[in-house]
Amino acid sequence: MASNTSDLRSPLARARGLGSAKDGTEHWWGQRLSAMALVPLTIWFVFGVIRHLGADYTAFHAWMKSPFSAVMMILTAVVTFHHAHAGLQVVIEDYVHVEWQKLALLIAVKFLSFALAAACVLAVAKIFIGA
């Protein structure tokens, strides 16, 4: 690597792998990683929804009492909100150019994503525990 004369970074900077922004590609990578996770989770979710179309309260609870189903539903919700938040953030950053509006939207979307994710997790946990 020492022969790469076009790279002006120090060996330490190169080893850290972070650019001048200091947070590297975490956002990009997180979006891709959640996308990969959502492929099997989405397929599970669609099958699950089809099998519980028009299901009543008892049937739905029986489904969420299974540890596997409860874990999959929590993962689906959490990863979906992570991915949705990452995507909405990029859309807002690309199209909203008035600084205070951009900041307000980014904060609102982040708060809402966390709140809805927490509500989904608590709902599944409550049904699973049977409280």
The footprint of other proteins (CB under 8 A) covers 32, 35-36, 38-39, 42, 46, 50-51, 53-58, 60-61, 64, 73, 77, 80-81, 84, 87-88, 91, 116, 119-120, 122-124, 126-127
Nearer to other proteins, 16 or 126 (CB): 126
* Closest separation in Å from C-beta 96 to other proteins: 13
50: tokens are: 């089809």
- At 20 the three-state DSSP class reads coil
Nearer to other proteins, 17 or 130 (CB): 130
Closest CA to 38 of 79, 91, 81: 79
126: tokens are: 């409550």
* Closest separation in Å from C-beta 54 to other proteins: 6
Spatial distance between the Cα atoms of 6 and 2, rounded to a whole number of angstroms: 10
* Closest separation in Å from C-beta 71 to other proteins: 14
Counted residue by residue, the chain has a size of: 131
